Every structure is written in structure tokens, then in C-alpha cells.
């Protein structure tokens, strides 16, 4: 089930830690980078390769919100629903994004472009409200900015507009 290339990448991670299961998170990321999410079959294969049970590995996979156990869209939007963002307008922004994408939190658009997920604090509370799309962090948002940023991903993923770029910074 694991390809030779995947095993080689996982072996590199295993070499960095004292026990095989210590590489579990990195191994899951290797699979997710190749397949977009961690299927049950892949979970079993990685668990076998690391010498641990599927249940044990699944508990790690479900603990980390950057590991996806179901298929996700091309872009994953993670909107912070922790306290600072909540106070600064999370609810309205999330509602407007849901309306714009015609989905609810936790769902993927019909065209598989976007998955919208709630996220815990993104580490930029002083610039709340915030969201991430892939590895890009956007902050000091209002609903209109959030919609514009998302729209830019749909029409031209690499070409962010200058107004969107003002809200963008490196991930924490």
C-alpha cells in the first residue's frame, strides 16, 4: 500500500527519532502530501510500517487538525473560532463565507475547490480575526476581505490581489 518513495521518505523521518512510532505525524504528512488525506487503508499501512496499532495512529491523526481523515478540496480554509477571533467577528465572517461557498463548516464545495474547517487559535490573536488557506495566514479580516481572498484563490491561486496581500503574512 505504501509506495517505495513513500517508504523512503518515512524512513528518513524514522532516522531522526529514537523509536519508529516517533515518526508517526511526519509519516502521516508524507501520505497526505501524496494523496490529499489519510484513508483507512493508508492509516493501517502506516501503522503497520511503524509497528503500532491503527487505533493508536488514528488517535494521533485525529488530534492534529492538519491531518485530514476525509477527502478535502484543493484549498483548505481553516477559520479560527477561538476567543479573540470570536470577539472580533468570527461568526459573521464564517456565515458570509458559508453563504459565498454554499456550504456549511466542515464541508467541501461541489467543485472540490474549497473545504471550510473551524480551527483553534492560529497564534495571531492580536490580529484577529484570522484564517488560513493552505499555509497562508490572513488576519485583520472582515467578511468582505475574506470573500475577496477566497475568490482570488478560485480565479487565480497564484495571483493574489494587492488588497489581499496586505492581509497576508507568514504562518506562525
Catalog residues that contact ligand FES under the rule CB under 6 A: 80, 82-85, 121-122, 124-125, 128, 130
β-strand pairing of 131-133 with 114-119? unpaired
Residue 160 CB, nearest distance to ligand FES (Å)? Answer: 20
How distant, in Å, are the alpha carbons of 23, 77, 123, 162 from that of 80? 28, 10, 10, 23
Pick 123 or 157: Cβ nearer ligand FES: 123
Residue 120 CB, nearest distance to ligand FES (Å)? Answer: 8
- Residue 131 phi/psi, 5-degree rounding, is -150, 165
The arrangement of strands across the sheet holding 168-169 comes to: 114-119, 75-80, 131-133, 136-138, 168-169
Pick 64 or 110: Cβ nearer ligand FES: 64
CB 89 within 8 A of CB 46: no
Pick 61 or 128: Cβ nearer ligand FES: 128
Pick 9 or 130: Cβ nearer ligand FES: 130
Residue 87 CB, nearest distance to ligand FES (Å)? Answer: 8
DSSP 91-155: HHHHHHHHHHHT--TT-B-TTSSEEEEEES--S-GGG-S-EEETTEEE-S--HHHHHHHHHHHHH
Residue 15 CB, nearest distance to ligand FES (Å)? Answer: 35
CB 99 within 8 A of CB 143: no
Pick 11 or 166: Cβ nearer ligand FES: 166
The size of the chain, in residues, is 172
Residue 35 CB, nearest distance to ligand FES (Å)? Answer: 29
Amino acid at each position: 500500500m505504501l509506495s517505495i518513495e513513500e517508504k523512503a521518505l518515512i524512513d528518513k523521518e524514522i532516522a531522526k527519532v529514537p523509536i519508529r512510532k516517533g515518526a508517526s505525524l511526519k509519516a502521516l504528512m508524507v501520505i497526505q502530501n501524496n494523496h490529499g488525506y489519510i484513508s483507512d487503508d493508508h492509516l493501517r499501512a502506516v501503522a503497520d510500517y511503524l509497528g503500532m496499532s491503527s487505533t493508536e495512529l488514528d488517535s494521533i491523526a485525529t488530534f492534529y487538525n492538519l491531518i485530514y481523515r476525509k477527502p478535502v478540496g484543493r484549498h483548505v480554509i481553516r477559520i479560527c473560532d477561538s476567543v479573540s477571533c470570536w470577539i472580533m467577528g468570527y461568526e459573521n465572517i464564517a456565515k458570509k463565507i458559508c453563504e459565498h461557498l454554499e456550504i456549511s463548516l466542515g464541508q467541501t464545495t461541489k467543485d472540490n475547490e474549497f473545504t471550510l474547517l473551524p480551527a483553534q487559535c492560529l497564534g495571531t490573536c492580536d490580529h484577529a480575526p484570522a484564517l488560513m488557506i493552505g499555509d497562508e495566514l490572513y488576519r485583520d479580516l472582515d467578511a468582505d476581505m475574506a470573500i475577496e481572498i477566497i475568490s482570488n484563490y478560485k480565479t487565480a491561486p497564484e495571483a493574489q490581489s494587492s488588497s489581499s496581500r496586505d492581509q497576508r503574512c507568514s504562518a506562525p
